[in-house]
Amino acid sequence: MRFQTVCFFIFVTTAFGADVDNETLVTFPDGFLLGAATASYQIEGGWDADGKGVNIWDTLTHERPHLVVDQSSGDVADDSYHHYTEDVKLLKDMGAQVYRFSISWARILPDGHDNKVNQAGIDYYNNLINLLLDNGIQPMVTMYHWDLPQKLQDLGGWPNRVLATYSENYARVLFKNFGDRVKLWLTFNEPLTFMDAYTSDTGMAPSINAPGIADYLTAHTVILAHANIYRMYEREFKEQQQGKIGIALNIHWCEPVSSGDVAACDRYLPGRPLEIFAHPIFSEEGDYPSVVKERVDAISAEEGFTTSRLPKFTSEEVNFTKGTYDFLGYNYYTAVMGQEGVEGESPSRTRDSGMIQFQDPNWPGSASSWLKVVPWGFRKLLNWIANQYGNPPIFITENGFSDYGGLNDTNRVLYYTEHLKEMLKAIHIDEVNVIGYTAWSLVDNFEWLRGYTERYGIHEVNFIDPSRPRTPKESAKVLTEIYQTRKIPDRFVD
């Protein structure tokens, strides 16, 4: 009792001198959007329903099933193609204000090109969008969450720059059909992750083994595609539709092992994963960060390449790309420790970064080898983004935890409450401009190469039952309480 009274009167002084009381510190600001996220291939099923074309995940799971740990596929998954009304009901029951989902390119354009539009695909997303709006839930659409139409992979996929134009044409179809109702758009989900799909023949689709080359080519195409889509929206739709466009980027927080390793982490953040996408779009000067250009150019030359493995933007492209955002989408999961040193094969992006990374064995784990629970990294990373890019609006497009299943997901509950508290500190104490949050994921789903063995859902899905029933886990109940009260319940606050 006495302790609580004391706590109530403790004020935290922010860097800007603002006082934040304890109640505010655990409360979501007015206008902050709360919701949940999914992706098309991971939940929809209906892989060949009603004229959908084949995509690279259909190809991987059908032709190289051994690459998926349980040899499963997204052929049916949560069957959201037939059960989307149940997904909307889950969102509604939670008090979610926003639903982030992705559109399957090949369901809309079976061959990837805009000369042939599949009306059944348009109808499916129209129904979903309309039902969300009827229930007071804002749709947030990811245009691309890794399921490239196979016909475009047949042309080489993302390393082929022509995809920067084809993506723009695909996006135009989306704006034309859905832009009257969809006001929050993400061009790409985690380009950092799908550039890695071109670095190993046992990795994510399309599983192509050209590290240090095809990954940079992929990044280059994706950045230009993003800019093309943003500028096209400005020219053709923005005035009328008034939507906002971002890109969902991911990066683990990098904690230097010692003070001598600060530079290594500084290279990791700009170099290896995040800034390669963020710098051209969000920085004032545009282009790749100079540390990336210098290192990759120099290492390429040492390796005997006549042409640097890092493609170059023209100055027109730098200007065209700079500032093509209304907000930054950010997926936070975990952290790494970084140390000066060289690892990885030659050539590779890992080697180019000049950093060795590992995770502290004391960090609590999850069902995913890479996912350790490091909530303080979330706050640090949000501050890093805010400092680096002049405090842009940041939407947390993913944050979540994996286990092996079960309704009593105590560790997931802890993961969410601890991360939300760190995010609220970033908002209230550090004055980072975070505007929304969608938990990954609304439902258990096809976890890519881990199949159905790792579960990220706040709702359990029974994948044996043909009707794929959904059941709230403990985490869904706690998030419901949080979304409805718009604060972290006292029992999770120390």
The residues assigned a catalytic role are 398
Nearest residue to 453 via CA among 368, 371, 364: 368
Query: 174 vs 159, 177, 185, 355, 483, CA distance in Å?
Result: 23, 5, 10, 40, 30
CA distance 7 to 21: 9
H-helix segments, 196-286:
214-236, 238-241, 262-268, 275-282
| Phi, psi for 227 (deg, rounded to 5) | -65, -45
Least Å distance, CB 384 to ligand GBH, is: 18
25 or 204: CB nearest ligand GBH: 204
C-alpha 245/C-alpha 256 separation (Å) is: 33
SS3 123: helix
Please, which residue, 8 or 370, has the CB nearer to ligand GBH? 370
Taking the complex as a whole, the smallest distance from the CB of residue 467 to ligand GBH amounts, in Å, to: 23
Question: CB-wise, 79 or 454, nearer to ligand GBH?
Answer: 454
* Least distance from ligand GBH to the Cβ atom of residue 364, Å: 17
Structure tokens at 11: 């004020």
The residue whose two tokens read 């466009």 is 245
Given the complex with ligand GBH, which of 175 and 185 has the nearer CB atom? 185
- Shortest approach of ligand GBH to residue 225 CB, angstroms? 18
102 vs 283, which CB is nearer to ligand GBH?
102
Q: Distances from the Cα of 448 to the Cαs of 104, 151, 252, 408, 444, in angstroms?
A: 15, 21, 19, 24, 12
Pick the closer one to ligand GBH by CB: 11 or 370: 370
CA proximity to 67, closest of 199, 207, 211, 208: 207
Contacts 24+ apart (CB under 8 A), 118-126: 118/50, 118/51, 118/52, 118/53, 119/51, 120/49, 120/50, 120/51, 120/52, 121/50, 121/51, 121/52, 122/177, 124/50, 124/81, 124/84, 125/177, 125/178, 126/177, 126/178
Binding site for ligand GBH (CB under 6 A): 39, 189-190, 193, 250, 331, 333, 369-370, 398, 440, 447, 456
- Provide the 8-state DSSP code for 398: E
CB of 86 to ligand GBH, least distance (A): 20
Looking at beta carbons only, is 178 or 446 nearer to ligand GBH?
A: 446
Chain centroid offset of residue 196 CA: 14
Nearest approach, Cβ of residue 166 and ligand GBH (Å): 22
Decide: helix, strand or coil at residue 263: helix
Count of all residues that appear for the chain in the document = 494
In the complex, least distance from residue 104 CB atom to ligand GBH, rounded to whole angstroms: 14
DSSP H or E segment with residue 245: strand 244-250
Q: How far is the C-alpha of 445 from the C-alpha of 436, rounded, in Å?
A: 23
Q: Which is nearer to ligand GBH, 369 or 410 (CB)?
A: 369
**Distance, CA of 424 to CA of 24 (rounded, Å):** 9
